[in-house]
Each structure stands twice: as C-alpha cells, then as structure tokens.
Amino acid sequence: MSRALDDARDETPEAAPILGNVPGSYALSVFRERHPVLIKQVREALPYTPDRRRALDRLLGEVERDVMEPLEPSAHDGAAWAEWGRGKIGGRWVDAPFLWAESYFYRKLLEATGYFGDGPWRGVDPFGPLKQAELDGPDVDGELAALDETAALSPDERAEALLLGSLWGNRADLSHGATGAGGGERATGLVVDDGPLLRALLGDLAPARICLVADNAGRELLPDLVLADHLLAHGQAREVALHVKPVPYFVSDATPSDVLACLRWLAAAPGRAGEAGARLWAATEDGRLTLRAHPFACAPLPYADMPDDLRGEFAAADLTIMKGDLNYRRLTGDRMWPPATPFAAVTGYFPGPVVALRTLKSDALVGVPERTVAELDATGRAWRTSGTHAMIQGRGGPQVG
C-alpha cells in the first residue's frame, strides 16, 4: 500500500454511523414510511396463507411500535444475528445503525413470509411479483431497443453510453419507489466523475478479471449485463464475475434467478439486445461470465468486515465495480463522513482497484468537494437521497511501494 494512502487513512478518524433517530432525516423516513408500506405491498402481492399474513402483521406491529424483536428460536441463522445484534435487538429500530437495522428488517420480512421455513412458501421470493411487473413494464422494451441506436456511435461513444446506461439504471430501485420518491427529475451531470480513472484502469488492465457487484434486478440488471457483454466482447475483460445476493434482499436486489430471468429476456429480444443476450448466454456456458452469491452479500455489515474468502475473491480481481447505493453504503461504512473526506482514505482497506457506480439514494457520501456540496444544498432539493444525482467514484490500488 502506498505511503500516501497510509497517511490519508491515519488522518481520517472514523465517523459516527448513520442512524434513523435524527428528526427529518432520510433514514428516519425509511423506518416510519417506507417499511410499513412495503410490508403491506408484500402482504397483498401473493396469496399468503393465514399464518403468513399474521406473521406479516406482527412485523408491521414491530415496525409501528419501533421495537426490534428477536428472530424465532428455530431460525437457521439465529445465532449469527443474535451476535450481530448484541445490544441492538430489543431496542428501537431507529437507534441502531441504519445499515444494520435496515438489513435486519429485510431478514425479518423473509422470516415472516416463510422464505426459510419448511412449508410451501420456502424459497418463494416475496418481491417476485414486484420484480416481474417491472421487467414486463413498457419501459424495458424501449430501453433495449435503444441499444440499436448505439450502432451509429464511435467505439468510445458506445462504451460511454453503455457505462452511463448502467449507472443511471441504478434509479430502477423498487424499494425507492415504494413511497413515490425520486420524481421524474434527472441530473444532467455527475456529482463526482471518475470516469477517466475507470477508462484508464480498463485500458491498463485489459484483458482484466472484473468483479461486477450488482445491485438491483430488472431494469438495472439488464444494462449491467449489457455492460458486461461489452467488456467481454471488446477484449477489456477476460472474465466477469457477477456478484449477486443469495436470497431476496432490499426488495429489488438481484439474485441468481433474477440474473437468469434477465439473460432469457435478452436472449429473446430483437436487434442488438438479442445479440448481446446470445453472447452472454455463451459466455456463461464457457465460464467467462460467472455468478457469485456469497452469504456476506446479505450480512448487515460493511465491506471492511468481509470474510477472508470474499476478500480473496476481490483481491484476485484486477478491478471491482460496485453498483448501487447499498453497495456504496457498505463500501464507505454507512457513516456520516464529512463529504470532502477522500474516497481513497475511506476505502483503503479494499484489496484492489474499486470503482463505484451509484445514483444517490441515501446520506452516505465521501469525496465530494465542499463547494459542490454547498452549491447543491443551495438548490433546496434532496439531492443526496432522491436518485436525481449520480457519481462514478473510484481509486486504483492499493499499490505496493
């Protein structure tokens, strides 16, 4: 690791975690508004049996009373969550670190729907109807058809268009839309644009082994897969390892079954989308596109606490691309860093070059100059949480020297 990076880390005291107990905060609105709405949506999305509906009603009561109850004693991962939740379970949802408490909410939601139980609801994605409705929506066909227009672009312009498509696809987040957040606004620029760094890394490392850590399914995952196809087809990647969640998580987060659904969708599409789908299908068969679903992907912990085997996977990659807001929160610890805190200082623990592609949908933020923050704050808009602004943010290294 470079001396400069060591110095930056030494001079960066750890910030306090983001909590949900701050009046008027985004995190508080998630617990007070989004989670109750989501439970009701899940309850009505599938014909759950009376026992499951009662369990969902109990969870709604927990959320409304603002008390975190423990998992059932029979929970297969109860010991792990009891350890992670030491000093938190039994208290208020809003008093726990936001990342931890939000993760625990989704674990409790899966418990309520019977996802891990021995009954008929075992393995049934409670968010499946919401995901499928989005994939079947009218916007998807138009977005895939737009790929045909990239044929008229130069190679550099096409690469830039596909990168931005993957970046802005992060707005397709079902949980973010549960309460109508985001509106129809879209920023014309980026809060941080490390696109030149990403292009330089791809050029210097090609053909690279790339870890692409996905976020949402459906409309976001489709452009992510198209980006992976571009990297493979144009010799910038010799292998893309696509990291997804092993179980449904945070409503729209991608699982292996969501990846397969998108691959089928692409393969059946006309035009350039179908061509990309055919190449991706073949790349999956011959091992150039691989799927990873590590259990840590659903842990309520930042990437700084990743286990050694996952750290080894990222260390073996030439580049890791982190998609989406949740991955950014985990990458930066979901803490209230001063916004100008260097990204490299906060992520110095990560075992290789890393670039985050993220539309802003939470308060986690680093590496943004104070002047930029002041200008955006002066607009009076919720630019940190509305999904209207985005960033390409990264660092090379850590480097030896």
pLDDT digits (tens, 9 = 90+) for 337-358: 999 999 999 999 999 999 999 9
pLDDT digits (tens, 9 = 90+) for 287-338: 999 999 999 999 999 999 999 999 999 999 999 999 999 999 999 999 999 9
Q: What is the pLDDT of residues 261-290, one digit of tens each?
A: 999 999 999 999 999 999 999 999 999 999
Q: CATH assignment of 26-124?
A: 1.20.930
What's the mean pLDDT when you consider all of the chain? 90
Tokens of 240: 């893309």
Q: Is the CATH number of domain 132-176+186-395 3.40.50.10880?
A: yes
**6-13: long-range pairs with CB below 8 Å, 24+:** 6/348, 8/342, 8/344, 8/345, 8/348, 9/345, 9/348, 11/345, 12/341, 12/342, 12/345, 12/346
174 Cβ neighbours under 8 A, 6+ residues apart: 127, 130, 131, 134, 216, 218, 251, 252
Q: Which residues contact 29 (CB under 8 A, 6 or more apart)?
A: 179
pLDDT value at residue 236:
96
pTM for the full predicted model: 0.92
Close Cβ partners of 113 (under 8 Å, ≥ 6 residues apart):
42, 48, 52, 55, 56, 121, 124, 126
pLDDT band at 3 (very low <50, low <70, confident <90, very high): very low
Inter-CA distances, 277 with 104, 161, 223, 226, 399, Å = 35, 18, 11, 8, 36
Instruction: Give the three-class secondary structure for 68.
Output: coil
- pLDDT (mean) for 129-143: 86
Nearest of 187, 177, 182 to residue 218 by alpha carbon: 177
Domain boundaries, the chain: 26-124, 132-176+186-395
